[in-house]
Copies of this chain bind each other. A is one copy, B any other.
Amino acid sequence: MTQFAATCPHHSLTHNNKTIGSMCIITTRSFLLIKILQSHSCALTCFTLQLFELESCTYTYLLADTETKEAVLIDPVLETVDRDLKLIHELGLNLKVAVNTHCHADHVTGTGIMRKKVVGLKSAISKFSGASADIQLSEGDKITFGKQYLTVRETPGHTDGCVTLVLADQSMAFTGDALLIRGCGRTDFQQGCAKTLYQSIHEKIFTLPDECLVYPAHDYLGRTVSTVGEERKFNPRLTKNLDEFMDIMKNLNLPKPKKIGINIIDNTNLYCASYQKVIYCFFENVKISIKISI
C-alpha cells in the first residue's frame, strides 16, 4: 500500500511553508469521500478522548477502536478512576489495557484500582520503570485494541522507564513526561538525565512527521495539544544544542513534586497491580495525606 503522511495537509496550518499545526476536523465535503471509502476498504478508525485531572494537571487519554469498541487508557489518575470508568461504561467500551507512560512522581496511578474493578483489564508499564504490571513494555512492542495499536518508543531521560506511545498511522504520539508542550520533563530526580532525554526526544519523537499530534502527560498552562512540527520549531529547550539544553535543565531549580513522598519513597506507583487509597485532609491550612492500604 502506498504510504501517506499521517494527517491531512488540507486541514493543516503552515508557517513559513512548514506544517506546524494540524488539529483537524472532517467537514461536509471531505466527509462524502470518506463515506465512499467506507464501503470498500478496511480503513483504520480510532476514537480519542482527552481527560484532565485538576490537582496534578495530568492528562489521561481514552482511545478506542470504533468498530470493536476495544479501548486503551493512558495514564489514569487514582482520583479520577470513577469518572473514567463511568465514561467508558456509557460509551459501551471494553477496556483492555491501562498503560502508564512512566512511573509518576506527581500523582498516584489509577491502573491498580482499575484492575480490580474491570474484569480482564491488564496494566502496562516499561520494563525499565522498576514497577510491577501485567505487561512489561519495551521498544517496538505493540499495545493492540481492535484493529488499532500503539507502538512503544522508549524515551528515557525524565526516568529510565519513560515511553512514548505512537498511534499506528503516526498521527498521534502520547509523550508522557518526555516531551511537554514548549517544555520537557525535569531531569533532577529519580533516574533523570538531561543528555539521555535530549537524545530520546530528538531521535524518537522529532523523527515523527511534523503533523503528528503531541499529547503530553501534563500541561500547567492549559494547553491541550501540540504537534511535532510546532515543538521542533518553538520548544524553547529542545531547539537548543545539547550543551545549552543540559545547562537549562541543570538550572531549573524546581520544587519537589507534591506527591513524591507518596509515590517514590513509599513506592505506591511502583506497584501498578495494587494500590493504596490516599485521603486528604486539612489541618491548620496544611494539606495532610493519609494512606490506607487496600
Any B CB within 8 A of the CB of A50: yes
**What residues of B have a CB within 8 angstroms of the CB of A52 in the complex?**
52, 222-224
**Complex interface: chain B residues within 8 A of A29 (CB):** 37, 41-44
Tell me, yes or no, whether A49 is within 8 Å of chain B by CB.
yes
Q: Are B13 and A31 within 8 A (Cβ)?
A: no
Contact yes or no, A83 B28, CB < 8 A: no
Bound-complex Cα distance A2 to B37 (A)? 17
Please give the count of copies of this chain that the complex contains: 2
Question: Is A31's CB under 8 angstroms from B5's CB?
Answer: yes
Q: Is A26 an interface residue (CB 8 A)?
A: yes
From residue A35, how far is it (CB to closest CB) to chain B in Å?
7
Residue in A44, A69, A171 with the greatest tally of chain B CB atoms within 10 Å: A44
Mask for A216-228, Cβ within 8 A of B = 1, else 0? 0000111111000
In the bound complex, CA of A18 to CA of B118 (Å): 24
A85 to B141, CA, bound (A): 40
10 smallest CB-CB distances across A and B, nearest first, come from A52-B222, A29-B43, A33-B33, A27-B44, A15-B92, A28-B169, A10-B38, A27-B169, A8-B26, A30-B34
Q: Is the CB of A47 within 8 A of B13?
A: yes
Bound together, the chains give a CA A276 to CA B42 distance in angstroms of 56
CB distance from A191 to the nearest CB of B (A): 29
In the complex, A119 has a CB within 8 A of chain B: no
Enumerate A194-231 residues with CB–CB distance to B below 8 Å. 220-225, 230
- A67–B134 Cα distance when bound, in Å, is 47
A-B contact pairs, 28 of them (CB 8 A): A6-B31, A8-B26, A8-B31, A9-B35, A9-B38, A10-B35, A10-B38, A11-B26, A11-B46, A12-B66, A15-B92, A22-B47, A23-B47, A24-B66, A25-B172, A26-B26, A26-B171, A27-B45, A27-B46, A27-B171, A28-B169, A29-B41, A30-B34, A51-B224, A52-B223, A54-B220, A90-B234, A91-B230
